[in-house]
Amino acid sequence: MAREATPATEPLRVVGRAIPRHDARDKVEARTLYAADWQMPGMLHGAVLRSAYPSARIRRLDVSRAAALPGVAAVLTARDVPRNVLWTDVPGQTSEVGPLRARLVLLADGVVRYQGEPVALVAAETPEVAQRAVEAIDVEYEPLPGVFDPAAALAPGAPRVHEEGNLLARWQIRCGDVERALERADVVIDTTYRCQMVDHAYLEPEAGVAWVDADGVLTIRASTQVIEHFRDVAEVLGVPHNRVRVIAPYVGGGFGGKEDVTVEVFLGLLAWRTRRPVRMVWSRQESLLARAKRHPFVLRYRTGAARDGTLVAQRIELLGDAGAYAYLSALVLLYATVTACGPYRVPNAEVQARVAYTNNPPTSAMRGFGAMQMVLGYESQMDQLARRLGLDPVEVRARNALHKGDRLPVGQQIETRVAVIEAARRAWAGLGPRVAPRTPHHRVGRGLACNIQPYGRIVWLHDWASAWVGIEMDGSVVVRAGVPDIGGGQASALCQIASEVLGVEPAQVAIHIADSALTPLAGTTTATRQLYMSGNAVLAAARELRARVLEVAARLLEAPPGRVELREGAAVAPDGRRVALAQVMKECARLGVPRSHLGVYHAPAGDPVDLARGGRVFPDYTFGAHAVEVEVDTETGAVAVLRHVACHDVGRAINPQSVEGQIQGGAAMGLGYGLLEEVVVEAGVNLTTSLGTYLVPTALDLPDVEPVILESGDGKGPFGARGIGEPPVGPPAAAVANAIEDATGVRITELPITPERVARALGLLESPAPGRA
């Protein structure tokens, strides 16, 4: 690892240390109890009947045979659900679409809109009986015409997926005079790119157990990124919000796929109805078939530049496929729109973005959330521009990079340092000497891609997080925060921050996370926000607590207040005299000084923005760059990534080992996206519902990714940190495409970059590419 150290404003003892996480030991001993590992006495097993058709009317739905099977405790259909819809509200939409209130139907009510849509629920004594009951439900479908491509969905006369029409959302940005700027540009690059639908494919499928506890509170322990779905469950059941509790155990991977509800509502319905504990575990096939995926996009970029490589205009048209229900599509599209011009100054820009309903699987949040798909567009364009003008790839980017104080085309001013070019130089240099091709038919090439990714939620959501920090009577520290830990070290980073401020070893900090009834609410583990938001909340709580403790300690030590320090579990006077934290706690108790504090952090907030007029959309952004060296077999089209250097400015690395893990894991996911993965859907039928057909990269498909951490010290998180969860997934696909052109001279514009696509581009295959489903 290479690490750029910047002088710290305060000497740090624990923050910045690559220490193992507190959850690691349990994980290597396999003691961590994931959602599906939980059992309750008398537990029932839940199962879901799913639609076999992508578009059909339900003519008849008869559950009597299923309900009569011995061992079946409940069979539920739409009729049994008190409120069968969840809503997504999206303010700030353009007038044509109108303020969006989009519907997600929980159990199909008369119509099914995608293959795999839930139609009925079963709870039974064993999983086998539950499965048999699902098969015993009589459904008669009348297939309806469907629409399977977003462009076709927006054409006149297309079958309507929802009565309101197929245009789900539209955003636009305009600044300057694009028309004129493109006319006057010395060079215009006009290319259309396509990126595919992919799946999160975390190793832990969706699962949970629900029960009604002794106080009549419906408790759901489920694999989720969002414990605040307790509100959704309460709405669906028509019970007060304070009667539902969601607990997230350590999650076996999320990546956005456990941001929307998965099993929670179904578990709630079944446990509430049967008054017995219920477990539901989705099979891998179910997960791949029916859970929301990453949006495919068509991206048309017209990029104008002056002869010296300065960008003068971007005209961008985006079209995304929302699948059959809205989920978070309108917001994903917003992220895409705002970041579509990349980390560059673009004086004249126009972005027209639309997302349409189809009868494909729904699409929603996935690591990178719309912003990552744009990297293929803006970084392929940058590379083509460099090639056209004979400029070095780093140089062309350096001439256009954003700087602190610049405005994005949407009008938001960048308030922190932009180290994107430093990242590009480090990544590019990190590739080292070029390797020689192995054989005469191999070609080796290099590619670079930079990116911009927001961290923290959209400002009009008025995001906040709270966390409780307390010191026990023996001097040990407790943190309580409603933070689901999805494997990124979310919880242990908070321990490290509390440990830093309160001067105790990290092992002396215990943390309780992700229980909506017992831990202060911290919001979602999504949007690269937990270190930023909950990190700041823990920091605020720990600092307030420290101030109080130090005051009491100063009196005990008869030392000048302000000169006493907390370290090694004690308060220490300037002359080295010390009093143990436990002693200080006794004194606090005697004096009635509180030994805990609830910290709250409010992110910068703002009003919904009319993008066309512009304004602030996100709290801040993370910047980075990846460089890859690839080898292309010009006889087969096979591409191997030989080297991969990934550099991001994380502001400050709270735990460099976790930061490296995020960068390497994100880069790997980005390479899988670039080279292998695709959810193949034909006429609404998902053909990749097993890990045998949906290809997740193995250890043999990937190179060692070398992480390079930059620490500008200039982020909005604790100690100047920026978020790093999502950013590393963005650059790899574009970097590989750029490297392939460097190696072979052919430009690949469609993902994934399979050997077949490369072979076609190289002219090795004669038949035209098959049309996309």
Partner 1 sequence: MTELAIAFTLNGERRALRVPAHRTLLHVLRDDCGAVEVKEGCGEGVCGTCTVLLDGEPVSSCLVLAPRVAGRDVVTLRGLCEGDALHPLQEAFVAHGAAQCGFCTPGMILTAYALLRERPHPTRADVRRAIAGNLCRCTGYTKIVDAILAAAGPGEPRDGA
Query: Residues interacting with partner 1, by CB under 8 A?
Result: 18, 20-21, 23-34, 36-37, 200-205, 250-253, 255, 281, 283-284, 486-489, 657-658, 660-661, 664-669, 690-692, 696, 698-700, 702, 704-705
Establish if 697 lies at the interface with ligand FES (CB under 6 A): no
Among 54, 487, 520, 670, indicate the residue that binds ligand FES (CB under 6 A). Answer: 487
Of 614, 616, 613, nearest in space to 414 by CA: 616
Establish if 203 lies at the interface with ligand FES (CB under 6 A): yes
Of 369, 327, 320, nearest in space to 171 by CA: 320
Tokens of 673: 């996206």
Of 126, 137, 141, 140, nearest in space to 68 by CA: 137
Tokens of 170: 């539209």
Of 324 and 493, nearer to ligand FES (C-beta) is 493
Q: Min. distance of Cβ 486 from ligand FES in angstroms?
A: 9
Q: Min. distance of Cβ 203 from ligand FES in angstroms?
A: 4
- Of partner 1, ligand FES, none, which one does residue 114 interact with (CB within 5 to 8 Å by kind)? none
Q: Min. distance of Cβ 664 from partner 1 in angstroms?
A: 4
User: Are the C-beta atoms of 334 and 232 separated by less than 8 Å?
Assistant: no
User: Are the C-beta atoms of 706 and 645 separated by less than 8 Å?
Assistant: yes
- Of partner 1, ligand FES, none, which one does residue 575 interact with (CB within 5 to 8 Å by kind)? none
CA distance 697 to 710: 27
Of 384 and 530, nearer to ligand FES (C-beta) is 530
Round the CA-based radius of gyration of the chain to a whole number and report it.
27
Tokens of 565: 């320090």
- How many residues touch ligand FES under the rule CB under 6 A: the total is 3
Q: Min. distance of Cβ 665 from ligand FES in angstroms?
A: 8
Of 201 and 349, nearer to partner 1 (C-beta) is 201
Of 254 and 304, nearer to partner 1 (C-beta) is 254
Buried b (16+ CB within 10 A) or exposed e, 9-39: eeeeebbbbebebbbeeeeeeeeeeebbebe
Angle at alpha carbon of residue 528, lines to 748 and 471, rounded to 5°:
155
CA distance 627 to 647: 9
CA distance 689 to 407: 43
Establish if 615 lies at the interface with ligand FES (CB under 6 A): no
Q: Which helix H or strand E contains 531, and what residues bound it?
A: helix 530-557
- Of ligand FES, partner 1, none, which one does residue 36 interact with (CB within 5 to 8 Å by kind)? partner 1
Among 165, 253, 606, 703, indicate the residue that binds ligand FES (CB under 6 A). Answer: 253
Establish if 165 lies at the interface with ligand FES (CB under 6 A): no
Q: Min. distance of Cβ 263 from partner 1 in angstroms?
A: 15
- Of partner 1, ligand FES, none, which one does residue 470 interact with (CB within 5 to 8 Å by kind)? none
Give Cβ neighbours of residue 535 (< 8 Å, ≥ 6 apart).
493, 494, 497, 654, 717, 718, 721
Of 141 and 202, nearer to ligand FES (C-beta) is 202
Give Cβ neighbours of residue 613 (< 8 Å, ≥ 6 apart).
411
CA 656, chain centre distance (Å): 20
Q: Min. distance of Cβ 32 from partner 1 in angstroms?
A: 6
CA distance 753 to 31: 40
- Of partner 1, ligand FES, none, which one does residue 731 interact with (CB within 5 to 8 Å by kind)? none
Residue ranges in 105-164 that form contacts with ligand FES under rule CB under 6 A: none
Q: Min. distance of Cβ 768 from partner 1 in angstroms?
A: 33
Of 284 and 443, nearer to ligand FES (C-beta) is 284
Q: Min. distance of Cβ 154 from partner 1 in angstroms?
A: 34
Of 23 and 379, nearer to partner 1 (C-beta) is 23
CA distance 331 to 608: 12
Binding site for ligand FES (CB under 6 A): 203, 253, 487
